[in-house]
C-alpha cells in the first residue's frame, strides 16, 4: 500500500493520521511553516515549532523535505513535513 498524505496538522487531521498510523498504514502529514491550528496542544502541527513532540503517546517528528517523510513513515514516528 502507498503513502497516505494528510494535508494539515490540525486537531481533526492529527486524530485521523494517528489512527491510520496505529493501524499500521504509512502516513505523512503536511503543514504550513506557520501553522493555523487553533487547538495546538492536541495537534501535530506543534512539531513544526518544536521539531519533535509526543501526541497521545506517539512520537511526531518534523522533516523539511517531503521525500524524507516517506522513509520515516515506515518507522514508529509519525512524520510531518513543512
Q: Are 72 and 63 in contact (CB under 8 A)?
A: yes
C-beta separation of 14 from 44 below 8 A: yes
Give the per-residue pLDDT at 74: 65
In this structure, what C-alpha cell is assigned to residue 54? 509526543
Please provide the average confidence, as pLDDT, over all residues in the chain. 83
Q: What residue ranges do the domains of the chain occupy? A: 4-81
Contact, 40 vs 46, CB < 8 A? yes
10-47 pLDDT per residue, tens: 889 999 999 998 898 988 888 888 888 888 778 888 88
Amino acid at each position: 500500500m502507498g503513502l497516505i498524505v494528510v494535508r494539515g496538522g490540525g486537531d481533526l487531521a492529527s486524530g485521523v493520521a494517528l489512527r491510520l498510523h496505529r493501524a499500521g498504514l504509512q502516513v505523512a502529514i503536511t503543514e504550513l511553516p506557520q501553522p493555523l491550528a487553533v487547538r495546538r496542544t492536541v495537534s501535530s502541527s506543534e512539531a513544526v515549532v518544536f521539531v519533535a513532540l509526543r501526541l497521545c503517546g506517539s512520537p511526531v517528528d518534523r522533516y523539511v523535505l517531503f521525500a524524507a517523510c516517506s522513509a520515516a513513515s515506515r518507522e514508529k514516528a509519525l512524520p510531518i513535513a513543512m
